[in-house]
Amino acid sequence: MIIAIQGGMAVGKTTALKIIEKVYPKIAISFEDISPVVDKINKHQLDNNKLDDYCEIQQLFIQHERDRYELVRDNEIVLMDYGAEEIAFYTQYFPKVAGYSWTLPSNLLLEVNRLKECFADYIIFLDADETVLYQRQKNDFNRRRHFFKWYTYHLLPAKKHYLDTFSNVIHINTNHLNAEEVAEKIIDIIRKLTL
* Other C-beta atoms lying within 10 Å of the C-beta of residue 159: 21
Give the per-residue pLDDT at 149.
Answer: 85
Q: Is the pLDDT of residue 174 over 80?
A: yes
CATH code, domain with 48? 3.40.50.300
Give the per-residue pLDDT at 156.
Answer: 94
Q: Is the pLDDT of residue 50 over 90?
A: yes
Pick from 18, 4, 10: nearest CA to 127: 10
Give the per-residue pLDDT at 91.
Answer: 98
Whole-number Å distance between alpha carbons of 20 and 37: 26
Q: What is the mean pLDDT of residues 163-177?
A: 97
Q: Provide the 3-class DSSP secondary structure of residue 176.
A: coil
Q: pTM of this prediction?
A: 0.93
Q: Is the dihedral of CA 117, 118, 120, 121 positive or negative?
A: positive
Q: Is the pLDDT of residue 55 over 80?
A: yes
- Say if residues 126 and 170 touch (Cβ distance below 8 Å): no
* Other C-beta atoms lying within 10 Å of the C-beta of residue 82: 23
Give the per-residue pLDDT at 19.
Answer: 98
Banded pLDDT at 195 (limits 50, 70, 90): confident
Q: pLDDT tens, 128-169?
A: 998 898 888 887 656 555 678 888 899 999 999 999 999 999
Number of H helices, E strands in the chain: 9, 5
Number of domains in the chain: 1
Banded pLDDT at 90 (limits 50, 70, 90): very high
Give the per-residue pLDDT at 142.
Answer: 62
Give the per-residue pLDDT at 170.
Answer: 98
Q: Is the pLDDT of residue 29 over 60?
A: yes
Per the structure, the complete domain to which residue 115 belongs is given by: 2-194
Give the per-residue pLDDT at 100.
Answer: 97
Whole-number Å distance between alpha carbons of 58 and 28: 26
Give the per-residue pLDDT at 137.
Answer: 81
Secondary structure of 39-101 as H, E, C letters: HHHHHCCCCCCCHHHHHHHHHHHHHHHHHHHHHHCCCCCEEEECCHHHHHHHHHHHHHHCCCC
Q: What percent of the chain has pLDDT over 70?
A: 96
For residues 115, 117, 123, 129, the Cα torsion angle rounded to the nearest 10 degrees is: 10
Banded pLDDT at 70 (limits 50, 70, 90): very high
- Say if residues 72 and 78 touch (Cβ distance below 8 Å): yes
